[in-house]
Amino acid sequence: MILAANFKSNLVLSDIREYFETLDSYLFEKPKEDIYIFPSNFALQEKIKNFSIGVQNAYCALNGAFTGEITLEALRDFGIKNILIGHSERRNIFGENQKMCAKKFDFFAKEGFNIFYCIGESLEIRQQGQEAIEKFLSTQFEGIDLEYANLVVAYEPVWAIGTGVSAKIEEIKQTHNFLKSKVDRPLLYGGSVQLQNIKEILGIDEVDGVLVGSAALDVSNFIKMIEIARGC
């Protein structure tokens, strides 16, 4: 079971240090779930033992004139080997198109990163029905090597992200079923995963884990989620 937390642009360094310490000591000598945290870049060099840290975004170059971006050399220096690519906020707020996502994917795959590749449809597409959803999600696989050994796919319907309204169990089941027919890699669900719904979501056969945003910002909440996952 994979539990991943995306902090986005939340928490300052002292908050994150405290969070990491609490989580790291909680996980000590516990049966290992696969826990990944994607914090802000300034926390990527924190030393922890019992979970993995990843970067929320990076540019596909070793180093160079890429103002505002973090690149491979810095990630290597921090020992970071996990990356989110294609998160809907990157696509929709920062205008990353499919070509850019595929370029980043290709670059970081060649470097052997564990790539958490995010896909998800808008509400407009959701309202057009399952066929439209599947067609759209397929476009988000363009240029992506679905056979890549270190690939994890995260299905995150855009309308469910940060809204408090998760997709319904039936909707997740249906879409994950479709995605499983396309890609034989771990498949996470993301979008308003919370304490109240995580058990039911993880209980779906086609769900191999979750990617959590807001509900993971509080460490005790996230630990409760890990405990629920352990019981699933």
Distance CA 171, CA 185 (A): 20
Edge-first strand order for the sheet with 2-6 is 52-53, 34-38, 2-6, 209-212, 187-190, 151-155, 114-119, 82-85
Residues 159-218 that bind ligand PGA (CB under 6 A): 161-162, 190-193, 211-215
CB of 61 to ligand PGA, least distance (A): 25
Distance CA 37, CA 53 (A): 5
In degrees rounded to 5, what are phi and psi of residue 194? -140, 175
Residues 57-86 that bind ligand PGA (CB under 6 A): none
Q: Does 140 bind ligand PGA (CB under 6 A)?
A: no
User: How many residues contact ligand PGA, by CB under 6 A?
Assistant: 13
Distance CA 130, CA 41 (A): 37
CB of 110 to ligand PGA, least distance (A): 25
**Furthest-apart CA atoms within the chain: distance in Å:** 48
Cβ closest to ligand PGA, residue 63 vs residue 220: 220
Cβ closest to ligand PGA, residue 72 vs residue 210: 210
How many angstroms separate the Cα of 54 from the Cα of each of 26, 36, 139, 169? 19, 7, 25, 28
Q: Closest Cα partner for 86 from 70, 110, 102?
A: 102
Q: How far is CA 208 from the centre of its chain?
A: 12
Is-contact 33 63, C-beta < 8 A? no
Q: Which residue is nearest to ligand PGA (CB)?
A: 213
SS3 210: strand
Cβ closest to ligand PGA, residue 109 vs residue 192: 192
CB of 125 to ligand PGA, least distance (A): 17
SS3 161: coil
Cβ closest to ligand PGA, residue 41 vs residue 74: 41
Residues 88-117 that bind ligand PGA (CB under 6 A): none
Cβ closest to ligand PGA, residue 9 vs residue 67: 9
CB of 139 to ligand PGA, least distance (A): 20
Q: Is 156 a catalytic residue?
A: yes
87, 96, 121, 176: the catalytic one is 87
CB of 88 to ligand PGA, least distance (A): 7
Q: Exactly one of 2, 3, 6, 104 binds ligand PGA (CB under 6 A); which one?
A: 6
Question: 129: alpha, beta or left, given left = phi > 0 and alpha = psi -120 to 50?
Answer: left
Q: Using CB under 6 A, list all residues that contact ligand PGA.
A: 6, 156, 161-162, 190-193, 211-215
